[in-house]
Structure 1
Amino acid sequence: MTHTIVGVDIAKSVMQIHWVDPETGEVVNKPLKRAAFLEYFANRSPCLVGMESCGGSQHWARRLIEMGHEVKLMPAKFVKAFNIRNKNDAADARAIWMATQMDSKAVAVKTEAQQAVLALHRMRQQLVKFRTMQINNLRGLLTEYGEVMAVGRAALDKSIAGILERLSGRLPAILIDTLRDQWKGLDNLDQQIGQIERRLQEWMRDNQAAKAIAAIPGVGLLTATAAVATMGHANAFKSGREFAAWLGLVPGQTGSGGKIELQGISKRGDTYLRTLLVHGARSIIYRVKEPGPWVDQLKQRRPMNVVIVAMANKLARIIWAILAHQRPYRKDYESVRPG
């Protein structure tokens, strides 16, 4: 069955739709109020709806799928290539309609539970960012008064009490008290981050997929829960190689005239999950006593950063294999190439 393709440019209040009537060839490009959006699709026969993957797209995708429609979410960068003229809602909806017809890897439509896990990751990421900013801010302010300390939280906690004591005779009390309050405020951020991690741990206890991949060396709580929530369903990818490429853990390519040159990793896909995998790979390379002959051989031929990214690529493939084939992790497992 061939569905009618509808491009939708979603927004806060007004949605723009674009589609072509397959019988008459009439081009429809019109706005819809938010309240009338679902009603419009409720009265239509099943169709393929294309949307940019942006704020609110997951919600609308779930609602449209419940009505029997098929939804294709696409990265904004992919859609942008089809808008070659002025940018407005009508042009954006037309570009989305055109992009929906192209063969491309769609963004997974996530369940509300998966999106809730990713929301916890985003809030934790923001709190960690705030904490790092606060530490650097305190170090920078104290440098203005000749007090220099080493990088890191441990060095700050070790030195700041004595520094504030020394400065108390030179600087106004209002500044000393404020600096002390800012330092103690780091404990509150620690507690919030720890609470989110405990909630992620509770969720992982009830999720078999996350527990299965958490057994992989280099894959911890954050990577396991983020991978399961980000991937959606493992069968959305044909292979582990495709999953690793979707995460941007493969070389970019450039070339012409039949001559192709490989560059650094493409860095496409989900930046957060790719970063976690790279950190996990780094922990294997530097902390595991015997990472394996494959790693040892690679170290002799390639720079260390290339080895780390290669290990991250391997972790992504192992994660996909475990989730796709529903098998536990085995350290001694050897894959067999089909004949």
Structure 2
Amino acid sequence: MNFTAVGVDIAKNVFQVHYVDQETGEVVNKPIKRQRFLEHFANRVSCLIGMEACGGAHHWARQLTKMGHEVRLMPAEFVKAFNIRNKNDAADARAIWLAVQQPCKPVAVKTEMQQAVLALHRMREQLVKFRTMQINGLRGLLSEYGEVMSKGRATLDKEMPAVLARVAERLPAALIDTLREQWSRLTKLDEQIAEIEGRMREWKKEDLAVKAISAIPGVGLLTATAAVAMMGDAKSFSSGREFAAWAGLVPKQTGSGGKVNLHGISKRGDTYLRTLLIHGARSVLAHANEPSSWVEQMKKRRPANVVTVALANKMARTIWAVLAHNKPYQRDYVSVKPA
């Protein structure tokens, strides 16, 4: 069976495959069980396989690449434009088949190590959310009994013993014991988060790319590990601007008739990485001992939030330059185009 392009709509148990047989011209759109998926592509002529960059896509992309096929992962928004009328597995596979034959910016296939680091980030983020929910829940419950505490986790830990002692005089012991258990659970969450961050530090010691970009002001442990894992291959981006645009740190554009209007940042790409970059830029602006002249000039003519995002954009470009050119970070480096 000779074919050049294949569209695959992956799922949990049943995958949908769409292609055109070059010998007979037959349009094939059929479901394949998960257990028979790799067997279907074994011992076949190398082809271009398109898939949406969704859950499990990177795993199947690695397996198909080992067989000699070229795999292109595409954003779901790009594929959506080729889905006509009904939305089902067969229509999705046909839309992916159409989309993979069009010029687009594919999503870099991540290695298992990169996905493992991202899994640590996701679990840490989930624990931080649980901790925030726990704190807000305690504050809300105690406010029902007239106990309102000041903001901040440190203040909560400081005032909680006195608050529990006061409400214990008029409330059932069962409630007081439960509140005390919920408060002690915060310490366990802190320990779990610290353990995950410790494992990230161990990976940082072994990975040269993470070490290299950690020297950039505003790029800490979380930002460095997340950037390297999410970027995949830095050379898959043609420039630092393209990487910054992929992270959603460039203005959104609208316009017609040759007039282009620039708005706020597009917020496309991964929200988590963009958040880390912006928080890192905000930390640099607040705590830098020797801010650069570029930052000082920006502060004079732009609002604080605009300066923060602009610095985050510059940090993203610097990260790409360090990784793509395999050069150490230099504070006063000036990029000069060859004549």
TM over 0.5: yes
Query: What is aligned with 1:311?
Result: 311
Unaligned runs of 5+ residues in structure 2 are: none
* 1:304 shift after superposition: 1.0
Deviation at 1:299, TM superposition (A): 1.2
Contact 2:3/2:22, CA 8 A, preserved across alignment: no
The Cα offsets for residues 187-244 of structure 1, whole Å up to 9 and x where unpaired, read as: 0000000000000000110000100000111001011111111111111011111111
- Counterpart in the other structure of 2:27: 27
Q: What corresponds to 2:185 in structure 1? A: 185
Give the match for residue 107 of structure 2.
Answer: 107
- Distance, in Å, in 2 between the alignment partners of 1:289 and 1:200 is 27
Question: Match for residue 237 of structure 2?
Answer: 237
Find out whether 1:88 has 2:88 as its counterpart: yes
In the TM superposition, residue 23 of structure 1 has moved relative to its aligned partner by 4.2
SS in structure 2 opposite 1:30? Answer: strand
Deviations 1:40-67 (A, max 9, x none): 0113211111111111111101100010
Residues 173-252 of structure 1 correspond to what in structure 2 (within 5 A)?
173-252=173-252
Partner of 1:156: 156
Partner of 2:124: 124
Instruction: Return the TM-score normalized by structure 1.
Output: 0.97
Amino acid at match of 2:156: L
User: Structure 1 residues 106 and 3 mapped into 2: Cα distance closer, same or farther (>3 Å)?
Assistant: farther
Give structure 1 regions of 4+ aligned residues with deviation exceeding 4 angstroms.
Answer: none
Report how far residue 285 of structure 1 moved. 1.1
Confirm or deny that 1:320 pairs with 2:320.
yes
* Contact 2:5–2:100 (8 Å) recurs in 1: yes
**TM-score between both structures, scaled by the size of structure 2:** 0.97
The alignment partner of 2:249 has SS state of coil
Aligned to 1:5: 5
Q: CA deviation at 1:258?
A: 2.2
Shift, 1:106, TM fit: 1.2
Query: Larger deviation: 2-11 or 320-329?
Result: 2-11
Give the drift of 1:22.
Answer: 3.3
1:171 aligns with 2:177: no
What does the per-residue CA deviation read over 1:236-262, in whole Å, with 9 as the maximum and x for residues that have no partner? Answer: 011111111111110111122222211
C-alpha displacement of 1:97: 1.1
Alignment correspondent of 1:135: 135
**Aligned equivalents of 1:124, 1:37: Cα separation in 2:** 33
Gaps of 5+ in 1: none
Find the counterpart in structure 2 of residue 38 from structure 1. 38
Cα drift, residue 75 of structure 1? 1.5
3-state secondary structure, aligned to 1:119: helix
Q: 1:47 maps to what in 2?
A: 47
Residues of 1 paired with 2:142 and 2:84: CA distance?
Answer: 51
1:31 to partner: Cα distance: 0.5
329-338 vs 178-187, greater mean Cα deviation: 329-338
Q: Deviations over 1:271-297 (max 9, x none)?
A: 111111111111111111322111111
Q: State how far apart, in whole Å, the 1-side matches of 2:338 and 2:125 are.
A: 41
Q: Does the 8 A contact of 2:14 with 2:31 survive in 1?
A: yes
1:71 aligns with 2:82: no
SS of 1:255's partner is strand
What is the deviation of 1:153? 0.8
Distance, in Å, in 2 between the alignment partners of 1:13 and 1:333 is 52
1:3 offset after TM fit, Å?
Answer: 7.1
Secondary structure in structure 2 of the residue aligned to 1:321: helix
- The one-letter code of the counterpart of 2:39 is E
Where 2:254 maps in the other structure, the secondary structure is strand
Matched residue type, 1:31: P
For 2:328 and 2:249, how far apart are their aligned partners in 1?
A: 24
CA offsets 1:126-156 (integer angstroms, 9 cap, x no match): 0001001100110011111111112221121
Could you tell me which residue of structure 1 aligns to residue 287 of structure 2? 287
Q: Paired residue for 1:272?
A: 272
Say how many residue pairs are matched.
338
Structure 2 equivalent of residue 255 of structure 1? 255
1:127 and 1:313 mapped to 2: Cα distance?
A: 28
* DSSP-derived class of the 2:6 partner: strand
TM-superposed CA distance for 1:263, in Å, is: 1.1
Give, as a single letter, the amino acid of the residue that structure 2 aligns with 1:164: L
Contact 2:248-2:269 within 8 A present in 1 as well: yes
| RMSD over aligned Cα atoms | 1.3
